[in-house]
Amino acid sequence: MDYNEFRKKIVTDDDFAKKFTDAKDPATLIKLAAAEGYNFTEDDIKNNTEILPEELEKIAGGSANSTIAYADWFVTPSTIVTPN
């Protein structure tokens, strides 16, 4: 599964998102995601410039537990991951 599928899952499934709260850098995020069957690179994160409809729903709904991935950063409820 690719990065966009990962993003959709992480913004729609809070239990899934909690698995990534310890990811403090892109390498850790990628490793944790791979263990869940997702295959993407740091470049996939960096080159992501589109906000998914699922992310917009979280933003518009004001969800405090939102997980958002955008451009060169990745945000979960307790961490911000920025690729180097």
Residue spans of the domains in the chain: they are 1-52
| pLDDT band, very low/low/confident/very high, at 23 (cuts 50, 70, 90) | confident
| pTM as predicted | 0.64
pLDDT single digits (tens) 40-84: 998 888 887 677 777 666 665 555 444 444 444 555 544 445 555
The DSSP annotation for 8-76 comes to: HHHHH-HHHHHTTTT--SHHHHHHHHHHTT----HHHHHTB----HHHHHHHHHT-TT--EEEBTEEEE
pLDDT at residue number 65: 47
Contact status, residue 18 vs residue 73, Cβ threshold 8 Å: no
Neighbours of 45 (CB within 10 A): 23
In DSSP terms, which residues pair with 81 in a beta bridge?
74
